[in-house]
Structure 1
Amino acid sequence: MKSTKPILAITMGDPAGIGPEIAVKTFEGSELHKVCRPILVGNAAIMEKALTFSEKNLKVRTISDVKEARFETGVMEVLDIGMPLDETIEFGEISAVAGNLAFHSVIIAIELAKNGEVDGTVTNPIHKKAINEAGHHFSGHTEIYAEYTNTPKYAMLLADDAIKVIHVSTHVSLRKACDLVKKERVLEVIGIMNDGLKRLGIEKPRIGVAGLNPHAGDEGLFGDEEINEIAPAVKEAQNNGLDVTGPVPPDTLFALASGGRFDGCVAMYHDQGHIPFKLAGFHWDQEKGKMKSVNGVNITLGLPIIRTSVDHGTAFEIAGKGIASPDALMNAVEYAVKLTKNRQ
């Protein structure tokens, strides 16, 4: 009987970071193969070395085509990107070689999804400086996916059981982020959020929209972006039949959302959304000196293909130590599976 579980392409991430480690830990777990048919896209030699992080005798099997995959439990099938190592990659060190390998793993995963060979993609963390040193001038995964899928309208959604946040802008300076708060973009992101929440199984999403300024501008005392840009976008979204509230003071919005008032929040810039999201999902164990849990998923909405990701970086400071948590990668897999079930 042919399996109905989706085929997911999971990228290696920057090999100098924790990507290979958390990939190994996820593939050796019992849950991965229960929910999907996974393949790892990356350098097979690097993933062989990463088996030192395995506690359960995980095996690597190299394939050159998705059709060769058997999807066996206890086996990580690596679709090798065909780029042999020409120098040693050291954990925790930025290098163009590592950045190039990580970048091409992503590009191949995108092509597999565009061609219908996989049902979705899940990305491990890349290092922005490393990929730029390799000559690939992007500020992150989101922009890579947008470029290689020819997607003009997209947005970053952070998703967890407790809170879901989408952003009007992401990888730009704070000064520029303020200039990007325009009615058209805010309205666009509200619409993308509404569609995305529906794809995650929320039939009638309730969306809260953050203000940009303290107290959401306090009737113009602390800025007029709320009056001139955000409120008009919210009003138009309401007129279009969406359940939207705002602008809500940012220091209140996320507390309301985590308590169940909203299904999703629209943040005006990167840190406004990331800080409350990571506060809810990242938990540090002071005694053990490591994260005891790292939950949360980064989803790029608006694309013609599915892309979810861990919502943490390469963690160079702990790379190679064997203490990285695979929680977020498994979360990303689970969200990718949800999205495959609710395709538009």
Structure 2
Amino acid sequence: MKILLVTQNFYPEIGSGANRFRNLYKHLSGHHQVDVLTTEPSYPNEKMYQDQKFWYDEQINQSADIKRIKMRTSKQSRSMAMRLLYYFELGLKVRRTIRKQQAAYDVLYVTTPNIFMPWAAFFGQRHETKRVLEVRDLWPDSLTGIDKLKSFKFIFPVLKFLEKRMYRVSDTIIINNEGFRAHIEQLAPQVKQYYFPNAFNQEELAFSEVTENFKVIYTGNIGFAQSYDQLIEVAEGLEERGIYFNAVVYGMNAHNFFNYIQEHNFKYVTAYHEKSRQECLEMIRTHNIQLSLLKETDTFLTVLPGKIIDGIGCGVPVVTNLGGYANQLINDNQVGYAKERATTTEILDAIEQIKHNHALEQQMRENARTLVQEEFLWEKNIKKLEEVLKQ
């Protein structure tokens, strides 16, 4: 097969979306001709990619399969109007490229949450190629969850209509979270959905034994979707309890977090700037708990963040305030603690319960190692995905 992957985020960018598509490219290109249409790395900012540690995959660095779109506008603007302008520019350039090149491919594989890219790839285009839509976020609902549509409420019904049409003009839909299935089925009941979660490569799997100093870790964005206030409250609670807490953070509220930690002269809480995926995984393995906190909105509490999969893949218990599929996954498999809209006190109590019960922590670690082998291995999942793409 000849496959074109269309994604806003791609290696060497950090984040689960970029890592997911790096793995899709690496595994699918082993047996198929795969090209990637993407942008220049700029998440969370362009400057950080001057550091060569993020460009660790020499195979991709040398590949001619990666087509990067040059953009004039910036997606990192705090202005919603400027961000929309960026998406319109990106959509226009994707549209032109697809119109010229789609006939050369058997599969057009496009991802959300930026729905401007699927719109550009699918709407008003000749349906010459199998259309596969990957849904990693329920956009535009996620915008209401971060209060970014307050000034643009009049366009929300239009966005919802286009969301429904996007699903319906797809031939196949891939979801990375079972929590999305019912929503999409309601809007596009005739289109088949297949679940393929974020995963680990076999070579990435490595586990460490628990350390003497009990440690909690948070890795990732502190942006619109994350609960910054609760993260601060948890940091304060862990400091008071003398529990080590390491946070590898980036995003719009990261500098506030750094400043808060410095101003309060915390002894047990340490903040770190962005790290590569390999560096993050190495850190996670040496900790006792992986923390994941999102804002308490219906949209965000049903997602399955990449940091939860990272924790499970490293054999580390996960503590979170999420509901939905993530909650079910964690509690049913006993790989941590999950309670929808958990208060800070409940989060801290869960951490202490694991801290003071070595047998419980060890059982959660063993359960995580089993779960990653059963459900979260690319080498297994990619074979199933290939069968779907061939249909």
Q: TM-score, normalised by structure 2?
A: 0.31
Greater share of helix residues, 1 or 2?
2
Q: TM-score, normalised by structure 1?
A: 0.35
